[in-house]
């Protein structure tokens, strides 16, 4: 199956700093990627839809200035948590759909990135 890779797998940062998380589709092109946030023992909450070459679409309640998304190429989307605070600590997961197979609907998920803000 298709592979989606996230980096870093885990990161610890100080409050007030910014953190960038990368999501790459390794063996396919993805015009659209999705960013999710998962709190401990909870489900995945969609944060935003990342569109290659255009602005991301954010879900209601998600601060676009707080969570900057850039989808500069067909294989890379980045999520930057700006001025991070302890409440931003979470597990962030990205997913992508192979652009050649829209009809299958299947999403491929990255391994996730655990962010801890001190």
Per CB under 8 A, the segment of 12-20, 67-75, 80-88, 99-107 that binds other proteins is 99-107
Per CB under 8 A, the segment of 12-20, 40-48, 62-70, 77-85 that binds other proteins is 40-48
How many residues bind other proteins (CB under 8 A)? The answer is 28
Name the DSSP class of 104.
Answer: G
The strand pairing partners of 32, in sequence order, are 51
* Alpha-carbon separation of residue 12 from 19, 63, 85, 118 (angstroms): 9, 21, 11, 7
Residues numbered 74 to 93 that lie near other proteins (CB under 8 A) are 91, 93
CB nearer to other proteins: give 82 or 91: 91
* Alpha-carbon separation of residue 109 from 28, 51, 86, 113, 117 (angstroms): 13, 16, 25, 11, 24
Contact between residue 96 and residue 36 where contact means Cβ atoms under 8 Å apart: no
From candidates 14, 43, 60, 86, binder to other proteins by CB under 8 A? 43
Q: Does 110 bind other proteins (CB under 8 A)?
A: yes
Q: Does 21 bind other proteins (CB under 8 A)?
A: no
Q: What is the CA radius of gyration of the chain?
A: 14
Site residues for other proteins per CB under 8 A: 1, 4, 6, 31-32, 34, 41-44, 46, 49, 91, 93, 95, 97, 102-112, 114
């Amino acid at each position: 199956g298709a592979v989606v890779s996230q980096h870093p797998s885990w990161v610890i940062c100080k409050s007030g700093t910014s953190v960038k998380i990368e999501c790459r589709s390794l063996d396919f092109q993805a015009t659209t990627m999705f960013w999710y946030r998962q709190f401990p023992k909870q489900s995945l909450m969609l944060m935003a839809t990342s569109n290659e070459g255009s602005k991301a679409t954010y879900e209601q309640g998600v601060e676009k200035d707080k969570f900057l998304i850039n989808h500069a190429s067909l294989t890379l989307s980045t999520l930057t948590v700006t001025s991070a605070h302890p409440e931003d600590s979470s597990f962030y997961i990205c997913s992508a759909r192979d652009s050649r197979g829209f009809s299958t609907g299947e999403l491929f998920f990255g391994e996730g990135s655990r962010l801890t803000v001190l």
